[in-house]
Amino acid sequence: MSHDDRSTPEALLPLTPAVLHILLSLADGQKHGYAIMQEVGVRTGGAMRMGPGTLYGSIQRMLKDGLIVEAQERADAAHGEERRRYYRLTGFGQRVLQAEARRLEQLVRIAQNKQVLPGLGTMGGA
């Protein structure tokens, strides 16, 4: 599907965990597949284990939806000499990520108000 009929980022929400984490890992610059996987693993303390199938399946759809684009292919000194595909966020991808973050923030606020997470109010203080 082209993204003509999804002019608003909200139309893509909610994102799957894989898509959200890939967008987040690209938020601070372009990365190749393995670097994305590593970052997601580290940032979630190993809780989110994204395999290559999930990673590239998501990437394929994100390219199609215009959330990311392929940056120039090049070698990564830290991971051998092979040339790899790098991906980076598009402006639309950035807006979708922002919209999702806002949506999640609202959810957290509801959870706080309903005292589902009683400790949350004092987060940072404890």
Partner 1 sequence: MEYPPTSRDSILSVRLYRLLLLAYPRAFRQEYTSEMVLVFRDAYREASRRQGTLGVLRLWSNFFYDFVKTVCIEHARSWMQRGGRDFALAGKEQFAMTLQFTLDVAQRTDIGRKRVTNEDNLISVVPQDSQLLQARGALFVVSDGMGGHNRGEVASALAVQKVKEYYYQDLQDDIPTALQEAIKQANITVYQANDAEKARGASDFNMGATCVAAVLHDQMLYAANVGDSRVYVLHEGQLRQVTCDHSVVALLVERGEITPAEARTHESRNQIYRCLGQPEVKVDLFTEPVQEGDTLILCTDGLSSVVEDEDLRAIVEQYGPEESVQVLIARANEKGGPDNVTAIVVRVSA
Name the residues that contact partner 1, by CB under 8 A: 1, 5-6, 10-16, 18-19, 32-34, 37-38, 49-62, 65, 79-80, 82, 84-85, 103, 107
DSSP code, position 31: E
Distance CA 93, CA 51 (A): 22
CB of 120 vs partner 1, minimal distance in Å: 19
Closest distance to partner 1 from the beta carbon of 90 (Å): 15
Nearer to partner 1, 50 or 119 (CB): 50
Range 82-90 contact pairs with CB under 8 angstroms and sequence separation of 24 or more? 84/32, 84/33, 84/34, 85/32, 85/33, 86/30, 86/31, 86/32, 87/26, 87/30, 87/31, 87/32, 87/33, 87/36, 87/59, 88/26, 88/29, 88/30, 89/23, 89/26, 89/27, 90/66
Question: Minimum CB separation from partner 1 for residue 112, in Å?
Answer: 16
Q: Is 18 or 29 the residue whose CB approaches partner 1 more closely?
A: 18
Residue 93 CB, shortest distance to partner 1, in Å, is 12
Cβ closest to partner 1, residue 1 vs residue 126: 1
| CB closer to partner 1 out of 45 and 53 | 53
